[in-house]
Amino acid sequence: MTDLEKTLSERIAERAASIEPGRNARNRAAFILIRADVSKAVDDGYSLFAIWETLREEGRIPYTYQTFRRHARVLLPPRPSRSEKWTGK
């Protein structure tokens, strides 16, 4: 994929990951690069732990599960609660 085919967010995340920012910025950038994959896996019914474990084993993310959960909570779109799913609200 060329740079022009990537979204602005992807290009910014890659740039942040390649320079020497602080650890938090680097971790955030790494999550942004995989955000669409994580969102799709959650929609497919996989737990955040299973997603984190797979990404960690593949070497796509270097950080802890707690850091992964924090980024998921902040950077993924909100999901309906279980009660909202059942009641249709």
Q: How far is CA 14 from CA 8, 29, 30, 76, in A?
A: 10, 7, 8, 18
Minimal CA–CA distance to 51: which of 32, 72, 30?
72
Portion of the chain with pLDDT greater than 70, in percent? 80
Mean pLDDT of 50-70: 95
Residue 36: pLDDT over 80: yes
Q: Could you tell me the pTM of the whole model?
A: 0.69
